[in-house]
Structures are given as structure tokens and as C-alpha cells.
Structure 1
Amino acid sequence: MPMSRREFLSAVSVTALGLSATACSSDDGGGGGKGGTVRFGYIADYNGASLLAVAEQRGLWKKHGVAVSYKPFVNGPIQIQALGSGDLDYGYIGPGAMWLPASGRARIVAVNTLTFADRVIAKPGITSLAGLRGKRVGVPEGTSGEMILNLALGEADMTMDDIQKVAMDPPTVVSAFSAGRIDGAGINYPLIDTIKKKVPDLVEVASTEKTGGNFPTAFVAGQKADRARDLKVVRVLQEANDWRAAHPEEAVAAAAKLLKVPVATVRSDASHVRALTTADLVAKTKDGTVAGWLDAMSDFFVKTGQLKKSPGADSFYAGDVYTEAAG
């Protein structure tokens, strides 16, 4: 039996796009939306929300002279669309949406974490990816769910043509898998934890933990740069990042408060995340490590057809802004 709307919203904190949680300073500097407020999008999970939760709780926006409002989204591609239409100033994306800034539709202003939360899951009785051949597999297109599905299919010498791909947004994947309307899915934690409440014996047939490689998450801005504003925003993210690294349990609690979900739920989600300090990210930006992560992602998306060619990371990662902000 599918979960009710109330149960689902409570479990994953995916609110209607018209709602927002707001953290504003008394300073209208920083540009952006109405009254100079910077409009910041996020996904309702630890990766997407923890730095914003810390920044709000610690008063970092006010400290750096930025007025801000938060707005939740169900995935990264929708935020990229909002950036392009001028309805959003900054947002958060996971690794599966990295092809969008690489295609010139946004700029990465800060790397957030490395994540290993993505899985291909199957209904009980299917024990390998080959068991999904000819089966209905739900996937949010353009996201990390599609990314892990493509990776897994390649490792199994299969393609999308070998399955019945069903494009769904993340909430629909949760309800469809839970109700048995699909046989498998490309999806991520913490949504998998929600699915397990209905299908505890689901099978994880592929995982980014086992594929190798690094899968960065990031904060993005629109194509038109506002360097002064970018520097302010990135400094907030960097300070929040270092506080999160030094206080992991408190950061989990802050994210849980913002998302209105149990601390244990967020703690489980955070277990699939590798956090890095700002100093480490600055060093990795300067020595080309971050560019290597992004180039590897772009090369992958060329293989999947989501990119026509692999651009240089410096064309869409504002590494100079990140290093200057830390200086």
C-alpha cells in the first residue's frame, strides 16, 4: 500500500516548491531578489541542507552582510532551471547534475562534499543488475540516480535499452517502488531509508561506494557572475563548512532542525558523506585535484550523451573565487 502524502512529507521533508524556510540578516547587501535578498535553493538532505542550516544557526549570513532566503527543491536540475530563469541566485546540486554546469548552464562557486549515497535498488528476489533486464526501473532524469544507473549498466555490459526506464521525480520513485509499481530504481539515501520502511528486504544491486571514483556535490550560481556577492556567499559557506567539519554531530542536529526530521535520520544520511575542510578544498583547487574530479564527471557525461564534449573544469568552476574567499 503506498504511503500517504503526509507520511511521505514527514519522512523526507520534500516540501512544496512554493514554501521556503527563511534566514534573513538586517543587511540588504548582496543583491539577488526582492529587497536585495539572496535566494538560495537546496535539496532536503544532509548534503544539500547542512551548511545552510549551520549558517542560519550560527548567524553567519548576518556576520558577512548577506540577507538570504532558503527554498527547497526536489533535485538539482530544477534549481539550474530556476537559476536560468532568474528565480534563484544560488543552489545545490549532487554529482548527477554536474553535466549542467559543464554544459554552461550554471557556475560552481564551491565544492561541498564527496558523496557515496547513490544506489540502484531492486525488489526482493532480484539479486543483480542483470535481473533488471526488461524490467521497469524508475529514475529521476539528469540526477545522481540516473548517474549510478548508467554506471551500473556499463559495468554489467548493459545499456538503457536493456531495461524499461521510467522517468520519475524522486518523490514518485519512493512511492512507486514502495507500492511495487516498478521493479528497480536509481535513487539515493536518505530516500532509500524511507523506501526501506515499506520494503525492508529491497536489494542494493549497485552502489557508488563500490564503483570507485569521487563524486562531488556543489553549490552553484547563475551564468552571470557577481563577484562581490559570490565572495560574500562563498565565505559564509566556507565558515559553515569548517564548523561542520569540527562539529559533525551538532551539524547533523542543525540540519535535522531545518529539515524537520529526526536527528537519527540525518545522521544515517551523513554516514554516506565525506566532508572536507576549506583548507583542503583550497589546496585541492590549487593543485588541480578538484578539476580532476570535475573532468572525470564530464568525461562520464560525454559517454552517456548528456554532454557533447568535455569542457575544462575552469570554464564552469570558479576556483579563483573559492581561493580568494578563503584568503
Structure 2
Amino acid sequence: MTSPKNDKNTRTTGRPTLNEVARLAGVSPITASRALRGVSTVATELVEKVQKAALELNYVVNPAARALASAQSHSVVVLVPSLSNLLFIDTLEAIHRVLTPKGFEVLIGNFHYSRDEEENLLRNYMAYQPRGFLLTGFDRTESSRRMIEASNIPCVYMMELDSAAGVNCVGFSQLSAGETAAEHLLSRGRKRLAYIGAQLDQRTLLRGEGFRKALQKAGRYDPDLEVLTPRASSVGLGGELFLQLLAAHPDVDAIFFGNDDLAQGALLEALRNGIKIPEQVAILGFNDLPMSEHMVPRLSSINTPREAIGRRAAEQMLTLMAGNKVARPVEDMGFELKVREST
């Protein structure tokens, strides 16, 4: 059998090729191509063999190369979990400002906090051989991880940090942010502290973990005061969960919300129901969205460097696409506690 290194039809990038799929399936490259394109004249058993081989090798069809073998992509794919959250809009705008003047097209995919949706987007975009991927966080399917590794396409991760070898990432410690939230509320003399989180993506869970650890260290942790729901984060949900928590635990005197929209909803319900903030309950948000400093009372929040993360991630990507190593592959952009009237 010919070694992939010596196969003149094997790409020098190391990515799986159609020829390799054909060899593994025991068919000709033409049959493999037809099977993957869904040509009806290919026998069912051969289609199954080819699909199994493609899956095993993490091969993805490349229609762009099929249309024009000499074409070079100038696209960078950015995958985010939401386009309704201003957090990611700020990041995307910064990425555009860095990459567009350099002649790159930014392709945006929204996976709605679904790991399976993200996997499908990765598979679809890889078919067009983008120059790079900017991905949100590290929580994804094992199949997605294998695809990314097999593709050899430059990748930069945003919003979280990981010091593993070969990983390029720009973000901040979600765990430390949660710890800071707890320490701030404890410093205000609060004794019954709660955490309310929604959506339950990895970053929300890490914030909660940091908050929990700080409370445990201070001897103030009560698992009954941790409210987590997979429902989508929103102003309405924040108000709803706020009232439910106080009805069940009227002695709660401080709440850390996993996102500002939840905290904003709590402030509105407090105003509507005559609950004094922060006299009865201190409220702290996360992300410091634009409306937070205009709420009544003004919302204390942890400000996250959304624009800076997008800018630095895009700059890292330019370095990688030029074939160079990033000087600081792990960039901690930090965060800032904004203390206002609600705490």
C-alpha cells in the first residue's frame, strides 16, 4: 500500500483525502466521489462503506476545490452560540474590523448553544476549506474536536482560557470572575448569597463554580440557593426566577446573576413589587451590558472585555494564517468589577 506521504494525490496539509477514503472503503476514487455526492447509481452497500470510511478518517467533501482546484479561500469562520446577545455582537464587530481590511471574508455561524448544531456548522464550513476558525469556548462534541484536529486549519478559541500545548486562545477566567462576584457580595456583609444561572453553557457553569468555591471557603454556601435552568437567558426569565427564589427563601440578601439580562429583569420586578435594592437584596450581574448602568438602581456588574477579545483573537488568527507562531498563545484579557448602586 502506498504511504500517504508518497501518494501524489494526497494533500501536503495532512488532511484526509478522497483517495484515502476510497482505499479504506475498497473502491475507486470515482466511486467514492459519487457515493459521497449521493449519486443514485452507486450501490447501497458501497455507499455505506464509503460513508463509514469517510467518518473514520474525518473526511469532509470539498466542493470549492472540486469547482476550482487552484482556488484559495479567503474566508475565516466565526462560530458563536447566540446573535441575540450583545456580548457576541461586540466581539464580532471587532473581528470584522481586524480581518476585513486585510481582505478576508468573515463567515458567521450561530449554533444556538447546541453542541450538535456547532458540529454540523463545522462540517459544512470545512467543506469550503476556510483559512481559519474562531470558536467560542472549549465545550464541543468529540467528533467536532476530531474534525478540527484532522483539518489542520488554524483555530483560535475565544472567551475561555486553556494552557494546553498547541492551543491558541483569548479570554479570561470564568472561574475567577465567579469568585470575584462572591467576594464582593461577602465584603458588603451579605450572609445568604444565591446564584441564578440560565442557558447553562460551560461559561455559565464555570462562573457558578467559582462563586460556589468562594462561598464554601467563607462557610456561606447553601446548595438550595443555587438556581440553574437550561432555559434561554432573558429579562423576563430573570424577573421570574428572582421572585420564585425570594418566595422560597425570603432571607436571601444577595444574588449573583450569570448574565446581565437576568439581573435587569430582577431589578424591574423588585421595582414593581416594592423590594428595596440593595437594602433588602443586593443584585450583581455579569457582562455589564449597555443598559445596566442606566437601570434603577444602577446595576453592579462584572465587565467583560468583549471587544478586546474579538480584536486579539482576530490578530492571533492573522499571525497563524501567515504561517507564524503566536508569541503569547494564551492571552488573559481579564475582567473588571463595576460597583454601582445595586450592591
TM-score of the aligned structures, taking structure 2 as reference length: 0.38
Higher relative contact order (CA 8 A, sep 6+): 1
User: Which structure has the greater CA radius of gyration?
Assistant: 2
